[in-house]
Amino acid sequence: MPDQPMLIIDGHLDLAFNALHHRRDLTQDVHVLREREDPKPLGPSHPDSLRDRKRLESTSRGTATVSLPQMRQGCVGIALSTIMCRVQMPTGLLDDGMRTQEAAHSVGQSHLHYYKALEREGQLRFIRDANDLDAAIAAWQNPDSTTPIGLILSMESADPILDPEQVSWWWEQGLRSMGLTHFGANTYGHGTGTRGGLYADAYPLLDALAATNIALDLTHASDLVFWQLLDYWSGPVHASHCNCRALVPGQRHLSDEMIQAIAERGGVIGAVFAEFMLNPEITFDDPATYPQTARRSMSAVVDHIDHICQLVGNCDHVAIGSDLDGGFGREMAPIDYDTIADLQRFLDILERRGYSTNDIAAIAHGNLARFFRQA
């Protein structure tokens, strides 16, 4: 590996969600964020105390691992980061969804304006086309502490889009990737933890997405929705943050047939760094199997990358889609990981596992860069 850190493109982060839902100032060092969220000096009566917090999404308080300074430290210079708000009734693991699509639309707007505010401050720079992408890559060949993070805007669940006529407006704002569903049954179809298919309103939305050439993210689709989307959609497809069902059980992961189908369409699959996506003793759909803390190292992520590469016959269709701080924090991240800056150490693990420098560069940034240039 070269002495200079290698550029990493992270295929999935929820920066705006963490800033607004967890009230994190992502311009600060991760260790500052942890101290601010530590319940001990606050006392049990403080509204930010962990006492009586029972929802899964609240357990990561005080264990943040992602902020802009740590991204710069780790040369995570470009990221797909989300507009993330779904419509979901209060069932299952999570209850951070909205009850109405109008509410999801409003939250989605707030996420967009958060990114715009960071761009105005010079913290981020939207990547809207191949020229922007090339400029961001060039900037990260010799970065400093003020180099903006390149942002490819994505949407995790299409619920913030009220009708197909809004798609062109979202394109103008910078949206370049879209996943129709998330957890549960959402506005346009069934997602993780369900067995249903697309709803009728999904098809006009897909037509509008195709007209703007927004890439389709197959993550968080039910099995039926996954294949319905591939049958109907002829544009670019990827899976921003998915692991392999052959290694870890659960519908949240991709089957070998799904992996092959994505590769055949020229897509890229981002490997996830969460314990419940890495530990074969865990069934994603069954919280009773979840441990209190992580047990797997970053080498377990390489196992999934290995599986994809062996299955499709090359390293061209896999990337990093870490989902770090995506509903979990340090407690469910790999045991040899502390902050997102440690993704550079992950590249060292790839080298020790036998990957060439060219293959590591492809996984770190090259495959996603190629995908979005073509998309």
pLDDT recorded at residue 361: 99
Structure tokens at 253: 């992961």
The predicted-structure confidence for 69-106, as pLDDT tens digits, reads as follows 999 999 999 999 999 999 976 554 556 788 899 999 99
For residues 104 and 159, the answer to whether their CB atoms sit within 8 Å is yes
Structure tokens at 184: 């549960």
**370-375: Cβ within 8 A, 24+ apart:** 371/215, 371/236, 371/238, 371/266, 371/267, 371/268, 372/127, 372/130, 372/133, 372/152, 372/176, 372/215, 373/130, 373/133, 374/236, 374/266, 375/176, 375/213, 375/215, 375/235, 375/236
In a domain, 188, yes or no: yes
pLDDT recorded at residue 223: 98
Checking if the pLDDT of 267 tops 70, the result is: yes
Percent of the chain residues past pLDDT 90, beyond the cut: 85
Query: Higher pLDDT residue, 37 or 60?
Result: 37
Phi/psi of residue 173, each to 5°? -75, -15
Q: What is the count of structural domains for the chain?
A: 1
Average pLDDT of the segment spanning 354-359: 98
In a domain, 23, yes or no: yes
Dihedral of alpha carbons 325, 328, 330, 332, sign:
negative
pLDDT recorded at residue 285: 74
In a domain, 95, yes or no: yes
Question: What CATH number has the domain bearing residue 292?
Answer: 3.20.20.140
pLDDT recorded at residue 55: 42
Checking if the pLDDT of 204 tops 80, the result is: yes
Percent of the chain residues past pLDDT 70, beyond the cut: 92
Q: Sorting pLDDT into bands at 50, 70 and 90, what band is 54?
A: very low
Average pLDDT of the segment spanning 292-312: 97
pLDDT recorded at residue 58: 47
Q: What is the mean pLDDT of the chain?
A: 93
Average pLDDT of the segment spanning 9-37: 97
For residues 64 and 325, the answer to whether their CB atoms sit within 8 Å is yes
In a domain, 4, yes or no: no
Q: Write out the residue range of the structural domain in which residue 223 sits.
A: 9-374
pLDDT recorded at residue 306: 99
Average pLDDT of the segment spanning 132-155: 98
In a domain, 14, yes or no: yes
pLDDT recorded at residue 219: 99
pLDDT recorded at residue 81: 98
In a domain, 82, yes or no: yes
Checking if the pLDDT of 47 tops 50, the result is: no
pLDDT recorded at residue 57: 42
Q: Which of 373, 172, 183 is nearest to 268 (CA)?
A: 373
pLDDT recorded at residue 89: 60
pLDDT recorded at residue 60: 56
In a domain, 1, yes or no: no
Average pLDDT of the segment spanning 168-179: 98
pLDDT recorded at residue 51: 40
Q: Sorting pLDDT into bands at 50, 70 and 90, what band is 16?
A: very high
Average pLDDT of the segment spanning 353-367: 99
State how far the Cα of 151 lies from the Cα of 132, in Å rounded to an integer.
10
In a domain, 163, yes or no: yes
pLDDT recorded at residue 2: 62
Q: What is the pTM of this model?
A: 0.93
